[in-house]
Structure 1
Amino acid sequence: MEDLKQGMTVPGIVTNITAFGVFVDIGVKQDGLVHISQLSNTYVSDPNSVVKLQQKVMVTVLEVDGARKRISLSMKGNTPAKGQGGGGQRPGSQGGVQKGKPGGAPGKGSRPAETPDAFQCQADGAKEKV
């Protein structure tokens, strides 16, 4: 643990997944913890959606507490370890959402606006006889 310094980026292997984060073996006696808030640059509700057991990951050392034998790690901004493929979105990607011009007249490649059916009107609070 004495060799670890804040800011180092090291490879590791996921050894345990909990509700609050992920434990990673980085080659020292004590596994380090990647808190759920440090798993991704985006919100993560379930660590299992980001990593799997025995997955190779790259982590950055945030803090080393020798007295309490704790290592705080982060996966923010790190790419998966070599040979592990991303599996997720690239940083800055829109997740399949395409930007377009709002509104506009119907024309080539667009559909006319649909009128809501009775169920939608009732759901919106409008009283309409069917």
Structure 2
Amino acid sequence: MLKDEEGAVAVEMAFVAPVLIALLMAVFEFGLILFTYEAEQHVTWNVARQVAANRIGSSDAPTKIMEGLPKWVSSEKVSVTGPVLNNGQYTLTVSMPASAASPTAFMSHFYGEVVLSSTVVMQKEPTP
């Protein structure tokens, strides 16, 4: 005896599709967070190097950091500490919550209060 299975694929897809879409969004968001963290590390190192080499002033560091971060990162959520000169070395720290590192914040309840932080220490170069 033949059974009428018309529409079974549509019902199965209705169950599976939300899980697949959520998984795809999670992978995409995690990639954006990693990209933003790498950009944060790079811009922190670059700005600390410029300050240590006397190319920019310490007061210009927060502006330069925001210019180097992806455009979806809000300046209110980024914390810049330094550059502080101590024993001939500049220390610069940039941190932000992981939820600020992604424009979607789709999976933010999973990573909650995780903070992405980068600290760079550079030797001050002598002035010419």
* TM-score class normalised by the smaller sequence: under 0.3
The structure carrying a bigger strand percent of its residues is: 1
> Relative contact order (alpha carbons < 8 A, sep ≥ 6): 1 or 2 greater?
2
What is the TM-score normalised by the length of structure 1?
0.22
Question: Which structure has more helix as a fraction of its residues?
Answer: 2
TM-score, scaled to structure 2: 0.22
